[in-house]
């Protein structure tokens, strides 16, 4: 046992031999730990703050997210309760405007809201509004890659 360890053991034995001193030392350490935690430890629910930006894979992930922010987005679709009697278009647009205003009020989380977007401008995303024939046609193209996916998967 080294001299530092020996001194530490002597100090511990001296403190433990006096129960009141032990309580004082433990209380002081408890208060010091609480003060340290209060001023130095931060609580955050942001998952990106859990990893250090010095990690190469995390840096690449951050670049990817900044380059393609649409991957962090979601789509809100409004549907009529009764498709036989849909509400007037002005009412649909009023709903969309209210949703847009509510989302844009969340400045920390929302960067952009697109409303009143024509289906033609949605590109690949417009498949949501496509009829069954177009969906079957698109899924036929996927079947062409089935062999390639099997080869890569194996």
pLDDT band at 89 (very low <50, low <70, confident <90, very high): confident
Supply the pTM of this predicted model. 0.41
Q: How many residues does the chain have?
A: 154
d(CA 15, CA 97): 70
Domain total of the chain? 4
User: Are residue 93 and residue 109 in the same domain, yes or no?
Assistant: yes
> Domain limits at 104?
76-116
Q: What is the mean pLDDT of the chain?
A: 82
Q: Kindly state whether residues 32 and 63 are assigned to the same domain.
A: no
Round to whole Å and give the CA distance between 86 and 38. 56
- Map residue 135 onto helix, strand or coil: helix
For tokens 């003060």, the residue is 35
Same domain, 92 and 105: yes
81 and 68 share a domain?
no
Tell me how far CA of residue 86 lies from CA of 65, 83, 90, 140, in angstroms: 38, 5, 11, 33
User: Based on the domain organization, do 90 and 111 belong to the same domain?
Assistant: yes
Tell whether 112 and 80 lie within a shared domain.
yes
pLDDT band per the 50, 70, 90 thresholds, residue 30: very high
Does 109 lie in the same domain as 83? yes
């Amino acid at each position: 046992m080294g001299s530092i360890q020996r001194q530490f053991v002597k100090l511990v034995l001296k403190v433990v031999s006096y129960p009141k001193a032990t309580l004082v030392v433990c209380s002081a350490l408890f208060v010091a730990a609480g003060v340290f935690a209060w001023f130095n430890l931060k609580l955050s629910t942001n998952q990106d703050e859990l990893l250090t930006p010095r990690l190469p894979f995390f840096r690449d992930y951050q670049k990817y997210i900044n380059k393609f922010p649409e991957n962090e987005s979601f789509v809100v679709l409004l549907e009529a309760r009764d498709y036989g009697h849909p509400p007037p278009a002005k009412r649909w647009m009023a709903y969309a405007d209210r949703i847009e205003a509510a989302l844009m009020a969340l400045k920390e989380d929302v960067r952009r809201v697109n409303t009143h977007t024509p289906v033609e401008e949605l590109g690949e995303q417009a498949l949501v509004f496509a009829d069954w024939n177009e969906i079957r046609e698109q899924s036929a193209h996927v079947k062409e890659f089935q062999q390639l996916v099997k080869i890569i998967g194996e």
